[in-house]
Structure 1
Amino acid sequence: MCGRFGLIATPGQVGEAFDISAIDPFPPRYNIAPSQPILMVVSASELTGGGEGRNALLVRWGLIPAWVKDAGAFSLLFNARSETAAEKPAFRGSMRHFRTLVPASGFFEWRRTGEKGGAQPYWIRPRHGGLIAFAGLMSPWLGADGTEIDTGAILTTASSGVIARIHERSPVVIAPEDFERWLDCRHNEPRDVADLLRPPAADFFEALPVSKAVSNARNLGADLIEPVGPALEAAPEDDGPGQMDLF
């Protein structure tokens, strides 16, 4: 699953990586939590019914399906299982019409240690650095009082590599060469992009133990991603997705 992530690249770096010509300024964010605004990249044609290129917009992290009447009584859907999203009523429409990319520098996950003091958080990032793109879903929502909110969720899949030692689920990562196919909802139905919803290569990520201060969403500093110990090593026998699939 993905309950916290960071985006510490500059707007210029995000614009270059995602081929966006204009992007509003934003500060580095080290501890993005559900219900907060997140940056999503969408195909311009999906927003306007025409046009070319891609746009970046802020979306509330926590998807509300269009058919929900009372958002206050609806559970916060910040993750969606990629294996079933195309069939689930909450995500089916978004999988067909509003697929997005979520720029990220890495994400946090907690590993149960069995020791006093709770789980150990890890900052999980691409082994060779740079930005990554999570597979996202967007759902525009209109309240009875006229309130309009763009909401979204991050798709997850079975974990691979070192992440499988920490948690059974991790975000789906879309490779740059697949951006256009994933975002093109006009020509590609969910079945046409199902092959993209797979775990990354086992050696794609590295996991660094970090301070437990990240568990508090009010902590926002750069120190949250500073390692407090050596990187976690993948299990010798782990060459693919984890076997357990609980979330």
Structure 2
Amino acid sequence: MCGRYAATKDPATLAAEFDAVDDTEFYQPRADYNVAPTKDEITVVQRHPRDEEGNPDPSTTVRSLRVMRWGLIPHWAKDKSIGSRMINARADSAATKPAFKSSLAKRRCLVPADGWYEWRREGKAKQPFYMTTQDGSSLAFAGLWATWRDKSDEQAEPVVSYTVLTTDAVGPLADIHDRMPLVLPREHWARWLDPDLDDVSELLVPPPLELVSALELRPVSSAVNNVRNNGPELLARHEPEPADLDDPSLFDK
């Protein structure tokens, strides 16, 4: 699964890296070393631009950065609390799930990340690891998004939310956890974001072993277990002491 990740790059940097325009508007960028569900984060989408009357231009598309809330809220949901249970979607079944199948066909996004955290069970305790690139480039998680409106409050702003697709862990990652985010290689970004492509089944497979083998799998401090902790020290390599693993109070995921 993917329940926590790091996203520290500013919109200008991400716009250059993902060849996108910055459409984050009034978003106040800040480095987030402990992204947790229900937070607002930057995603990448590609859509047909619309004119003043809302009509899309089918002849072109624009790739842009958008801010969304982590935890997909289906358009038919009665309230937005369901989003906290929709932070991940299995790549192998998203096409058949009512909450995700429409988004998989029409509303796909990329979720930029410096890296993500996963916990390996060691006896009764869990050791956190941070998975990241060795060259500092961003990872791109395959994501789905949706727009939800509160029908009980016509004045309320619509909520745009996303979920991260997961797949079977590959290579050394399987020694930490059996699931991982669906990380898309750069050569798959354009097809994944293409708003006119409604069948992306060939992309819903685990990433190539070469991509995974190039990642650093770094043990980190149990401080990341607490969502209130948020700083660059969370990314530092930390070889656990026996006492770290024996204290269950350190885990608050």
Do both proteins adopt the same fold according to a TM-score greater than 0.5, normalized to the shorter chain?
Answer: yes
Q: In structure 2, what is the equivalent of residue 205 of structure 1?
A: 215
169, 179, 183: which one pairs with 2:189?
179
CA distance in structure 2 between the partners assigned to 1:81 and 1:179 by the alignment: 19
Structure 1 residues 26 and 156: alpha-carbon distance in aligned structure 2, compared to 1, 3 A threshold: same
The equivalent residue for 1:71 is 80
How many angstroms apart in 2 are the aligned matches of 1:160 and 1:56?
29
Q: Which moved more, 1:65-74 or 1:220-229?
A: 65-74
- Judging changes above 3 Å, is the alpha-carbon distance between structure 1 residues 55 and 21 closer, same or farther for their aligned structure 2 residues? closer
In the alignment, structure 2 segments of 5+ residues that lack a partner are 241-253
Amino acid at match of 1:196: L
SS at match of 2:44: strand
Alignment CA distance shift 1:60-1:73 (3 Å): closer
What are the superposed Cα offsets for residues 61-82 of structure 1, whole Å, 9 maximum, x if unpaired? 0111111123336762000000
Bigger mean CA deviation after superposition, 103-112 or 171-180: 171-180
- The correspondence for 1:59, drawn from 68, 89, 93, is 68
Question: CA-to-partner distance for each residue in 1:179-222, whole Å, 9 max, x for gaps?
Answer: 11111131x123xx222222222413221010101011111111
Q: 1:182 to 1:46 in 2, by over 3 A?
A: farther
The Cα offsets for residues 76-109 of structure 1, whole Å up to 9 and x where unpaired, read as 2000000010111010110011000001110000
- Where structure 1 has 5 or more consecutive residues not aligned to the other structure, the ranges are 231-247
| Correspondence list, 1:223-234, <5 A | 223-229=233-239
Equivalent residue for 1:37, pick from 36, 40, 47:
40
Q: Determine if the alignment matches structure 1 residue 136 to structure 2 residue 143.
A: yes
Task: Select the structure of larger CA radius of gyration.
Answer: 2
Q: Which amino acid aligns with 1:82?
A: A
Change (3 A) 1:204 1:197: farther
SS at match of 1:57: strand
**What SS is found at the alignment partner of 1:90?**
coil
Q: What is the TM-score of this pair, normalised by structure 2?
A: 0.83
Q: What's the secondary structure of 1:119's corresponding residue?
A: strand
Cα 1:106–1:73 change in 2 (3 A) is closer
2:19 aligned partner: 19
Distance in structure 1 (CA, Å) of the matches to 2:111 and 2:49: 16
**Structure 1 residue 45: Cα displacement:** 1.4
Residue 22 of structure 1: CA displacement? 2.9
Residue-pair matches, total: 225
Paired with 2:237 and 2:84, the residues of 1 have a C-alpha distance of 33
How far 1:12 moved relative to its partner?
2.7
**Amino acid of the structure 2 residue aligned with 1:189:** D
In structure 2, what is the equivalent of residue 158 of structure 1? 168
Residues 173 and 110 (structure 1), Cα distance of their counterparts in 2 relative to 1, 3 Å cut: same
* 2:110 partner amino acid: L
Q: Distance in 1 between matches of 2:110 and 2:83?
A: 24
Taking the aligned partners of 1:73 and 1:87, their CA distance within structure 2 comes to 18
Distance 1:83 1:195, change over 3 A: same
2:127 is the alignment partner of 1:120: yes
- Alpha carbons 1:2, 1:107 under 8 Å: kept: yes
